[in-house]
Chains A and B, each alone.
Chain A
Amino acid sequence: MASIEILQPTSLDEAVSLLVKHSEEAKIVAGGTALVIMLRNHLISPSMLLSLGRLGDLRHIRHESGTGLRIGALVTLREAEQSPLVREKNPTLAYTFSKVGNVRVRNAATVGGNISEADYASDPPCVLVAMRARVRACSVRGEREVAVRSFFRGFYETCLEPDEILTEVIIPDLAPGSSAAYVKYVSRSSEDRPCAGAAAVVEQNPDGTCKELRVVLGAVSEIPQEIESAEAMARGQRLTGELVDEIATAYSAAISPLSDLRGSDWYRKQIIRILTRRAIQQAMSGN
């Protein structure tokens, strides 16, 4: 490993000004669980690392009524998973963080790092999309909010500009009458990354019909997959077993999955159908 200069800003202002100065040669590091592997495998070779480790102010977990949960980018996955506030306000999200890697990884990896890495085989992204979460990005030019739905662009690619740092993720509370679920499927070791993951949010009308359904599949394609035409099939309908099966089949038909060591495209098509159904059913039975 060639020698790498480490920049350790102590404030966000300092961080963004260092980043704009070195955006060509620097990579941002937080928990380092993904970045160090990439370095070791020579997938990236930055001459500088911009560490966020000394930034004190991105470690918050707050809840604001009307806005929802606000989780700082440097909160570790383990902290987010164990936070009483996250567990109370959004148990499905807490559960999702608890399914990433193993406890050693979660103790180091951060929420912001997980999202910014944009690894396709990761648990949180599809859940955040389904929950209509937003991220805040900060640069010397100012701050902006981006919907997670439009954040992911491809393998390890996001819409972040080279001078931007992801600082926070905002997860709106589920609408009244809604419930959510995340179903992770591993095809190999229990500690494996997902072969597929499905997040579902079901909002029901008082009469028991479905007001809104969101289902997002993770780890089956470059970026999380949401099929709006299939979701629309649920609107105003009772989510019977048959309808859920139809929606699940529509998801399977609409997504062109990738093949990797966790499963072929053919296999993922089957799994998408099963997981879509299970996620919807689990969300419905959740409360």
Chain B
Amino acid sequence: MSVMGQSVAMLDAEERVTGRIGYVLNLELPGMLFGRILRSPFAHARLASVDASRAEKVKGVGAVLTRADLAPESAFRGRYGRVFRDQTLVSVNKVRFVGEPVAAVAAVDEDVAEEALSLINVEYEELPAVFDELEALQPGAPLVHDPRPEPVPAYAGRILQDLPEGSNICTHFKLRRGDVEAGFLEADVVFEDTFRSPAVQHVPLEPHVTLVQHSWGKLTIWTSTQMPHGVRAQMGELFNLPLTKIRVIVPPLGGGFGSKGSLRLEPITAFLARKANRPVKITLRREEEFVTVCKHPATVRIKTGVKNDGTLVARQAIAYFNTGAYSDAGPLVARNAGAAMAGPYKIPHVKIDSFSVWTNLVPAGALRGFGVPQANWAYESQMDMIAERLGMDPVDLRQKNVLRDGDLFATGEKLEDFHYEELLDRAAASVSWSPNDARWLHRSAGANRRGSVCCGKGIALVIKGTMTPSTSTAALKLNEDGSFNVLQSGVEIGQGAKTVLAQIAADAAQVPLHRVSVSDPDTDVTPYDQQTMSSRTTFSVGSAIVRAAEDLKRQLLARAADLLEASAEDLMIREGKVEVQGAPARSLSYSEIVIRGRQGNIIGHGNFTTRGGLDLETGQGIGSVHWAQGAIACEVEVDTETGKVNILQLNPCVFAGRVVNPRLSELQLEGCAFFGVGQALFEEMVYDEHGQVMNKNLGDYTIPSFEDIPKKLKVFLLEHEGSRDIHGVGETILSPVMAAIGNAVYNAVGVRIQNLPITAEKVLRGLQKA
């Protein structure tokens, strides 16, 4: 029986629960120094002077990094960035947010490093700052970057280049389909609404941590990153080193959720290690996590035209993604959200403008869902508002408009393998949805009330792409005892990647699971993978492994043909052996082929590349190699006296294509759905009027506890019979959690919240207004 489709327990479960996983956090090297970072107290200020002379003299200090190290006359310029080279290792001319690194020190311990930091004298000249993404676009708003930073060459042709100087617009994604104005004329009713999402944190249990050793001109970097090869490439450019001189090693991470998907501590740590000529480790404290990266605050204005019968005819959306002081992945987030902003609906006329905008806030980057949560909060909340105005059941309204096989998406691509009708039915059935559950169709008012508590149900759908184009490679190394090393660069973040990839490899190579060992990324050894993001690892690295196994099997057949003196066409592979068809006695095990053929190893190589991309002016093209499809239903109770929302049940349903490991997939979905509860109800980074995060600890910024898990959280994985296509499930179901809860709150008490989070106070204010 194939190991595919089996709920194999995580292969590292025992190490995990006994605390033996070798996280970078636990790694130490002899002679290692500890780095600490001096951060800006101002949101926007010119650096008048930075004087570290006293810090350098502190006993126990190995190296100090200031802008003097990046001076124009030095060989090292120190500019980097994922899309724009808008970041420097430490501030050079000005600081752009509270928390920006201004200097760094490596010393024998953190106390000495802290003491040295306190002796660095920085003079700031404060500048006017701008924090809100809409205010940043007003004429005369302070400019965060002036002149515009250069995009990195790889993105030069993939983002619009004609944006004006003297503006805080970082990028502009456009999607044009049909004639949206004509569409609105055709519509019977036009809805125009604005929805906002705040900055929130990823809160991985393990903070960002990096350890770098510099030896004989080579940087060895142990780091908590989701993009080992991306770190290597960017560090190569930054330090002007060939890729062979940079080795990135990534043990399992203690969570990431997108926060570890760009260069973070690697440049500063490497610089200090090189300057001190000793290994240096930097571990962020939780309060530093809060000023390192976050989810984009966003304002989404969405205008939708519908016929009286509920048919959607036109949608226009203008979205502003507040990417903070540095663009990081912001341009890609704005694009990803823009491409999916039409939602999983057939709409003939669509016009989307999705901007990333620089402000003086903490840089925003990837966070589970990559912009789609902010878009989905808008369009799925509005779908229920449309249903109410038309007096329709919101499930019927969605059912009427969902994309089906053969339909064209807003990007113009033809869709296959679409399952929204079934997903929607499943989700609705999971909460026993009936039209009466729509507040406006209540046959008997007050039927949902018990004492001060009112119940309500809500549903939302989502469509989300996976990064396209993208590339994974893998190698399968067959050893002389018949075991396999799978060399690959997907990162184990706790999602079970190594377990699932081992299942795929064992199945493809037709050997038992225990014969397979999946590597962690090590860029000196393991082949290229783009990054562990976008729900792509099982699908993309898994596909590369399958191809590597095919290559390996071809080689095995050729070798075996020689040894068995048979023609390769007459051979077949079965259960770890090559045998002559019809004569199973004439066979060789994998091990025998390696040993008798004096091969040492046999290595199979696999590459998996998806193709696609969207036109810059129209957003037409291939947005995603396949589209992740999901539905979620929930039931809440709202205390009408306090406004507090309690989630009774939350049931995610996703189309998963072919499921490799059902239990791990369910766990992914459970975690992902629950991850959304905090964002829906109370998570929010709160800034004061100076741009300082006021709640940068987990006492003031709370996340849900286990006691907040809904009593019922039932996952449904829709598998397509016979499908070979694997769909990643890491992120899909986060996006619609917020709108589903918002819709349920509305059905419970008639209060529509358009600014996340749906706090008890906002609900109570709404109740008192009503």
* A residues apposed to B, CB below 8 Å: 1-3, 37, 41, 102, 185, 187-193, 261, 263-264, 267, 270-271, 274
Contacts and interface: CB of A to CB of B under 8 A. Distances in A.
Given A263-B761, A270-B764, A3 B111 contact: yes
B705 interface: yes
Contacts of B642: 185, 187, 270-271, 274
Given A187-B644, A188-B759, A270-B764, 14 more contacts: A2-B111, A3-B111, A41-B287, A185-B644, A187-B642, A188-B681, A188-B682, A189-B678, A189-B705, A191-B702, A261-B695, A261-B700, A261-B701, A271-B642
Nearest to B686: A261
Contacts of A270: 641-642, 764
A147 B759 CA distance: 37
B708 interface: yes
Contacts of B641: 270, 274
14 contacts: A2-B111, A37-B697, A41-B697, A188-B682, A189-B678, A189-B682, A189-B704, A189-B708, A190-B707, A191-B705, A261-B686, A267-B761, A270-B641, A274-B641
B347 interface: no
A93 to B, nearest CB: 22
B37 interface: no
B699 interface: yes
Contact of A190 (B686, B699, B708): B708
Contact of A187 (B701, B707, B759): B759
B48 interface: no
Interface of B: 111, 114-115, 287, 641-642, 644, 678, 681-682, 686, 694-695, 697, 699-705, 707-708, 759-761, 764
B705 A190 contact: yes
Contact of A192 (B111, B702, B759): B702
B688 to A, nearest CB: 12
A8 to B, nearest CB: 22
Contacts of A187: 642, 644, 682, 759-761
A189 B644 CA distance: 11
Contacts of B705: 102, 189-191
A238 to B, nearest CB: 22
Nearest to B678: A189
A267 B764 contact: yes
A102 B705 CA distance: 10
Q: Which of A1, A185, A190, A193 is most buried by chain B, counting CB atoms within 10 A of its CB? A: A190
Nearest to A188: B682
A189 B686 contact: no
B684 to A, nearest CB: 9
Contacts of B699: 37, 193
Contacts of A192: 702
B761 A189 contact: no
SS of B interface (majority): loop
A41 B696 CA distance: 11
Contacts of A3: 111
A244 to B, nearest CB: 14
A90 to B, nearest CB: 24
Contacts of A102: 705
Contacts of B704: 189-190
Which residue among B678, B699, B702, B708 has the maximum number of chain A CB atoms within 10 Å of its CB? B702
Contacts of B702: 188-189, 191-192
A79 to B, nearest CB: 22
B737 to A, nearest CB: 16
B99 to A, nearest CB: 15
B114 to A, nearest CB: 8
Contacts of B694: 261
Contact of B707 (A191, A267, A274): A191
A83 to B, nearest CB: 23
Nearest to B286: A40
B292 to A, nearest CB: 18
Contact of A264 (B287, B686, B703, B761): B761
A189 B706 CA distance: 9
A264 B761 CA distance: 8
Contacts of B114: 1
Contacts of A274: 641-642
Which among B701, B703, B708, B760 has the highest number of chain A CB atoms within 10 Å? B760
A231 B89 CA distance: 62
Contacts of B111: 1-3
B760 to A, nearest CB: 5
A64 to B, nearest CB: 36
Contacts of A41: 287, 697
Contacts of B701: 261
A41 B760 CA distance: 29
A80 B702 CA distance: 26
Nearest to A263: B761
Contacts of A263: 760-761
B680 to A, nearest CB: 12
Nearest to B764: A270
A2 B112 CA distance: 9
A81 to B, nearest CB: 16
B201 to A, nearest CB: 13
A194 B114 CA distance: 34
A106 to B, nearest CB: 14
Contacts of A193: 699
Nearest to A268: B761
Nearest to A193: B699
A193 B699 CA distance: 8
A156 to B, nearest CB: 15
A91 B699 CA distance: 28
B722 to A, nearest CB: 44
B207 to A, nearest CB: 14
Nearest to A260: B700
A263 B704 CA distance: 17
Contacts of B759: 187-188
A266 to B, nearest CB: 8
Nearest to A3: B111
Given A261-B695, A274-B642, A189 B703 contact: yes
Question: What 7 pairs across the A-B complex have the smallest Cβ distances?
Answer: A189-B702, A190-B707, A188-B682, A191-B705, A267-B761, A274-B641, A188-B702
A271 B705 CA distance: 23
Contacts of B678: 189
Contacts of A2: 111, 115
Contacts of A189: 678, 682, 702-705, 708
A39 to B, nearest CB: 12
A264 B760 CA distance: 11
A191 B704 CA distance: 8
A265 to B, nearest CB: 11
A45 to B, nearest CB: 12
B15 to A, nearest CB: 23
Nearest to A187: B760
A264 B759 CA distance: 12
